Amino acid sequence: MNRKWTLVAGMAVLLGACAFLAGGVKAQSSGTLHAAAPGMPGPQPGDKKAEEQFKNIQVLKGVPASQIFPTMQFITASLGVECEFCHVEGAFEKDDKKNKQTARKMMEMMFTINADTFEGHREVTCYSCHRGSAEPVAIPAVMMEDPKPGAGEAKRGASKESAAPGADALIDKYVQAAGGTAAIEKITSRVMKGTIDFGGHSLPIDIYARDPEKRISFTHMPEGDNVTAFNGQEGWLGMPGRPLREMHGSELDAAAIDADLHLATHLKQMFSELQVKGTERVGDREAYVVAGQRAGKTPIRLYFDAQTGLLVRLVRFGDTALGWMPTQIDYADYRDADGVKIPCRWTLARPNGRFTIQVSEVKQNVPVDESKFVKPAQEAQKEPAK
112 binds ligand HEC (CB under 6 A): no
103 binds ligand HEC (CB under 6 A): yes
Choosing from 66, 67, 73, 265, the residue that interacts with ligand HEC (CB under 6 A) is 73
129 φ, ψ (degrees, to nearest 5): -95, -40
Q: Does 115 bind ligand HEC (CB under 6 A)?
A: no
Among 7, 87, 244, 316, which residue sits at the site for ligand HEC (rule: CB under 6 A)? 87
- Give the strand pairing for 285-294 and 273-282: antiparallel
CB 62 to ligand HEC: min, Å: 10
User: DSSP readout, 38-103?
Assistant: TT--S--TTPPBHHHHSS--SSSTTSBGGGHHHHHHHHHHHHT--GGGT-BTTBTT---SHHHHHH
- Which one of residues 7, 17, 25, 259 is an interface residue with ligand HEC (CB under 6 A)? 25
Q: How far is CA 349 from the centre of its chain?
A: 8
Residues in 135-164 at the binding interface with ligand HEC, rule: CB under 6 A: 135-136
For 17, counting Cβ atoms within 10 Å of its Cβ (0-12 exposed, 13-18 middle, 19+ buried), the class is buried
Stretch that binds ligand HEC, among 8-16, 133-141, 152-160, 301-309 (CB under 6 A): 133-141
Site for ligand HEC in 29-58 (CB under 6 A): 54-58
Return the bridge partners of 206, or none. Answer: 193, 218
Nearer to ligand HEC, 100 or 294 (CB): 100
C-alpha angle 332-338-340 in degrees, rounded to nearest 5: 45
* Binding window for ligand HEC (CB under 6 A); candidates: 14-22, 166-174, 207-215, 301-309: 14-22
Among residues 102, 117, 176, 378, which is the contact residue for ligand HEC, using CB under 6 A? 102
Nearer to ligand HEC, 58 or 202 (CB): 58
By C-beta, is 110 or 178 nearer to ligand HEC? 110
How is residue 371 annotated by DSSP?
Answer: G
Please choose, out of 85-93, 225-233, 262-270, 377-385, the segment that lies near ligand HEC by the rule CB under 6 A.
85-93
Of the residues 13, 107, 239, 276, which one makes contact with ligand HEC according to CB under 6 A? 107
**Does residue number 129 form part of the binding site for ligand HEC (CB under 6 A)?**
yes
Q: Which of these segments, 134-142, 144-152, 273-281, 300-308, binds ligand HEC (CB under 6 A)?
A: 134-142
Q: Which is nearer to ligand HEC, 55 or 193 (CB)?
A: 55
Least distance from ligand HEC to the Cβ atom of residue 119, Å: 17
Backbone angles phi, psi at 277, to 5 degrees: -105, 15
Amino acid, res. 178: A
- Total number of residues binding ligand HEC (CB under 6 A)? 42
Asked if residue 76 binds ligand HEC (CB under 6 A), the reply is yes
Give CA–CA dist 307/269, Å, rounded.
24
293-332 binders of ligand HEC (CB under 6 A): 322
Q: Is 21 in the site for ligand HEC (CB under 6 A)?
A: yes
- The rounded distance, in Å, linking the Cα atoms of 173 and 156 is 27
Question: First vs last Cα of the chain: how many Å apart?
Answer: 23
* Ramachandran assignment for 10, one of left (phi > 0), alpha (psi -120 to 50 degrees), beta (any other): alpha
Which residue's CB is nearer to ligand HEC, number 65 or number 192? 65
Report CA-CA distances (Å) from 33 to 30, 53, 321, 335, 383: 7, 12, 18, 39, 16
How far is residue 305's CA from residue 353's CA, in Å, rounded to a whole number? 25
Q: Is 18 in the site for ligand HEC (CB under 6 A)?
A: yes
Residue 248 near residue 64, CB atoms below 8 Å: yes
Q: What crossing angle do the helices spanning 263-270 and 167-177 adopt, rounded to 10°?
A: 170
Return d(Cα 184, Cα 182) in angstroms, integer. 6
Does 100 bind ligand HEC (CB under 6 A)? Our answer is yes
Binding site for ligand HEC (CB under 6 A): 18, 20-21, 25, 54-60, 68-69, 72-73, 75-76, 79, 81, 83, 85-87, 92-93, 99-100, 102-104, 106-107, 110, 124, 126, 128-130, 134-136, 322
